[in-house]
């Protein structure tokens, strides 16, 4: 696990934007698990050289522009990185339009590529959730998991969330509307799942991997057709050079089930559909994503480490 000593805060003067560039004042940065994998040679994402600004998706407002596509005052989304102001090419940014019921930070939350759109793609495009399905979500109290729970409920599924601790389990049921919640810290996850889903699980959206994945594989619907969706494996990100895979993968064959991984960018053609559905849910109040806010960019390393010790609920963000 990184420590504070692995990071430094630098003050730099930004040059004026060149043709096709803008400077954006960063409003909100999303602290996501994938960032951890950029800090390791064994990472699933491109490793950043030592001394680079930490990568992170964010939303901000243009304050200087030399672009024909983006004007001063426009809100933009993209990899603004862990900094207070971002100098970026307009082709690297997407113009977004906040409105009543959809705050700017929603674009790194329920409408963000690494959060809400990831949840939609995994659950709907890959998991093919159907009304009446029994859906299990690991890491359910995090940003992606919270979105999956609510999207599955909106699609008419019976939803079971897995999280750590009674406070998070209460959040899943009382705030997000999950039908049941399993506290993995109490142990016996396989037995708790068998009780919560006695006829088996139809869709598993996995953010965690490890032993929890095996517990779910042992509880897939025996009559066939279950879908296991691999979004991430936060339990493995500290030792990517020695990842522990599932021991019970033969349950997939025994129960005529399938397991698929996905990368959200491979489904970009579905993003407009996803954004439309999520926006409607946000406007109607049928979907929400609470924010755990860490103030000032110098606390970004602390926020990143917080992501892995389970001390947040909902979308973990930094407000530079």
120 plus 246 within the same structural domain: yes
Whether 71 and 177 share a structural domain: no
Tokens of 1: 């696990």
* C-alpha 1: how far from chain center: 20
Q: According to DSSP H, which parts of 131-188 are helical?
A: 143-154, 166-170
Beta strands in 164-248 (DSSP E): 180-183, 203-206, 227-230
Whether residue 166 sits in one domain with residue 240: yes
Mark whether 242 and 136 lie in a shared domain: yes
- Residues 64 and 162 placed together within one structural domain of the fold: no
pLDDT digits (tens, 9 = 90+) for 144-193: 999 999 999 999 999 999 999 999 999 999 999 999 999 999 999 999 99
User: Mind listing the pLDDT tens digit for each residue in 30-70?
Assistant: 999 889 888 877 555 678 788 899 999 999 999 999 999 99
Q: Is the domain of 251 the same as that of 158?
A: yes
Mode of pairing for the β-strands spanning 158-163 and 134-138: parallel
- Euclidean distance between CA atoms 305 and 298, whole angstroms: 13
Q: Is residue 280 part of a domain?
A: no
Of 224, 248, 265, which one is at a domain's C-terminal end? Answer: 265
Cβ burial, residue 174 (10 Å; 0-12/13-18/19+)? exposed
Domain of residue 257, CATH code: 3.40.50.720
- Is there a single domain that holds both residue 164 and residue 258? yes
Using one digit for the tens of pLDDT, what is the confidence trace for 83-137? 999 999 999 999 999 998 899 999 999 999 999 999 999 999 999 999 999 999 9
Which element (helix H / strand E) includes 138?
Answer: strand 134-138
Residues spanned by the domain of 210? 116-265
Same domain, 307 and 257: no
Burial class (CB in 10 A: 0-12, 13-18, 19+), 82: buried
Residue 283 lies in a domain: no
Residue 271, domain member (yes or no) = no
- 145 shares its domain with 257: yes
Q: Give the number of domains in the chain.
A: 2
pTM, whole model, 2 decimals?
0.90
- Per-residue pLDDT, averaged over 233-261, amounts to 84
The 3-state DSSP class for residue 108 equals helix
């Amino acid at each position: 696990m990184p420590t504070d000593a692995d990071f430094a805060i630098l003050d730099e003067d930004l040059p004026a934007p060149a043709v096709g560039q803008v400077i954006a004042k960063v409003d909100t940065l999303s602290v996501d698990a994938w960032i951890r994998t950029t800090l390791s040679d064994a990472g699933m994402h491109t490793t950043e050289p030592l001394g680079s600004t930490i990568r992170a998706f964010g939303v901000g407002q243009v304050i200087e522009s030399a672009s024909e596509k983006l004007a001063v005052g426009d809100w933009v989304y993209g990899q603004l990185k862990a900094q207070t102001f971002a100098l970026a090419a307009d082709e690297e940014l997407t113009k977004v339009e906040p409105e009543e019921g959809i705050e700017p930070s929603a674009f790194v939350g329920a409408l963000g590529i690494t959060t809400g759109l990831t949840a939609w793609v995994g659950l709907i495009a890959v998991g093919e959730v159907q009304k009446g399905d029994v859906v299990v979500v690991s890491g359910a109290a995090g940003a992606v998991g919270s979105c999956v729970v609510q999207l599955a409920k909106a699609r008419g599924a019976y939803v079971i969330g897995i999280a750590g601790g009674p406070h998070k389990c209460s959040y899943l049921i009382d705030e997000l509307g999950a039908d049941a919640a399993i506290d993995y810290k109490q142990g016996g996850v396989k037995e708790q799942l068998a009780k919560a889903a006695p006829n088996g699980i139809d869709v598993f959206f996995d953010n965690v991997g490890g032993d929890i994945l095996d517990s779910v594989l042992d509880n897939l619907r025996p009559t066939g057709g279950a879908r296991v969706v691999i979004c991430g494996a936060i339990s493995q990100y500290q030792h990517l050079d020695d990842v522990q895979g599932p021991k019970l993968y033969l349950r997939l064959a025994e129960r005529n089930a399938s397991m698929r991984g996905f990368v959200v960018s491979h489904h970009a053609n579905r993003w407009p559909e996803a954004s439309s559905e999520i926006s409607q849910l946000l406007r109607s109040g049928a979907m929400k994503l609470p924010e755990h806010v860490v103030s000032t960019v110098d606390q970004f390393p602390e926020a990143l480490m917080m992501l892995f010790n389970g001390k947040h609920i909902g979308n973990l963000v930094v407000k530079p």
